[in-house]
Structure formats: structure tokens, C-alpha cells
Amino acid sequence: MAYFTLTDICSFLYLGDMTDVFWFVYILCWFFPDVKKMAQVRKESKWCENKETAYHITSPLGTITIKACNIGMHSLSQPPHLNDENFSPNKRTEVELVQEDKEFTTPPPVIKDCLYWLQVYFKNPSQVSQVPFPTICHLQSQNLSFRARVWQTLADTVGPGEVITYGALATRLRNPGAARSVGSAMSHNPVGIIVPCHRVVRSSDLGLYHGGQRQKVKLWLLKHEGVDKF
């Protein structure tokens, strides 16, 4: 078996040829066979292994889906088909939990808290600060990832009627050069509205919302909160 020193392996990093990159990965996997397995496990890992249940709530935006475990929310998503072409909000729609079958059971406290928060938000967003913030499962860890810290900071410091740029939010995280990473965190935010990624804008314009497919939704949410600058 050929023997490679650390210097030999590291030298590959300074070569731009894709063949050299291939051999670097090959050698890495040869000497460390668990690397690929560990990477795959990390990729597929979840925030929580507890049982997840989906609940549906009617709203002026359409039916919202909330997924949660007994610890807290995992996600809050708007209707999957929603886009700028079919967006038709109705402020008169009541915010209610949908009972889909006769075996419907009493929702857990986290769903009750989320339902109440949304009821207050869609009625008068300026009052949500007086309502208990729904527990979000992946924000309960003592060692939050960068994205989770972005979401937590956004939820804690940017309220209804306010907007913040990606750069300013990065500065609040004491990482002023991380504006792009903040943008990535926004595009991967699993708990929309409650973690208000719609309040994060570019310095020059509104910025994208759901990849630019729901700009009218972002505008509606901001205007609902009293922001008319866009």
C-alpha cells in the first residue's frame, strides 16, 4: 500500500485540476472509510427524533400547516401552491384549527399557543409581543447552529412594523461579514411568520421571499404590520 504523508495529501488542495480533487477524495475515503458514512448521517440527521404531528389552521393567507412534537414546533408553512399569481388574501377568514376527522384529539399546548399567537397576529400584529412566544423545538438546544442563532435573533429583536437588512442582522449576531449566510438562513427558515423572515430586506429593495415566488405575500405581511415603504 502506498504511504502518504500529511504534506502529500495537503498538497492536493493547492492544485486546481479536477483529477487531483478526485484523487484527494479517493485517498481520504481510503484512509478514513467512515467519512462518507458520517457525512451522510449528518446530512440526514433531524433536529428532533420525537414523533411529529401535522396540524392545519385556516388563515387570511390560506391554510397554514404546522408540524410539531411534544417539545415544540418543527415547521410552519403556507399553502404549497401559493404564489404571486394565485395569491388572494381574505382578512375576514377566521384563524381556526381544522378538525379533519371524528378521531380528532385535543391539540397539545404548543399548538394551542401557536393558534392563539396567529389569532392575535392576524387581528392586530402590534399585540403579539404581549402573547407567549410559541416554543420552537430546534431553538431549545444549548448549542445553536449559526442558522438557528439567526432565527432566534430575528424573532427576539425585529418586531411587527420593523424591517432589517441582511447586513444589519449579521451585525446583531456580531458577525458583520455574514450577510450572505444570513440570507441563506432566511431561505431555509422552517417557521415562517412566527420567525419573521419577511421582515428581512435588502438595503436597496424588498429582497426575495420564497425564491421570489411570493413577493405579494411578503408585501401583504409587511403592510399588515404597518410597513408601507415598499
CB atoms within 10 A of CB 40: 10
The x, y and z cell numbers of residue 194, run together, are 412566527
**Phi/psi of residue 40, nearest 5 degrees:** -65, -40
Q: 96 near 58, Cβ under 8 Å?
A: yes
Q: Which of 228, 161, 158, 229 is nearest to 197 (CA)?
A: 158
CB atoms within 10 A of CB 102: 5
Catalytic residue positions, numbered: 197
Q: Which of 86, 94, 121 is nearest to 221 (CA)?
A: 121
Q: 218 near 209, Cβ under 8 Å?
A: yes
The x, y and z cell numbers of residue 155, run together, are 424573532
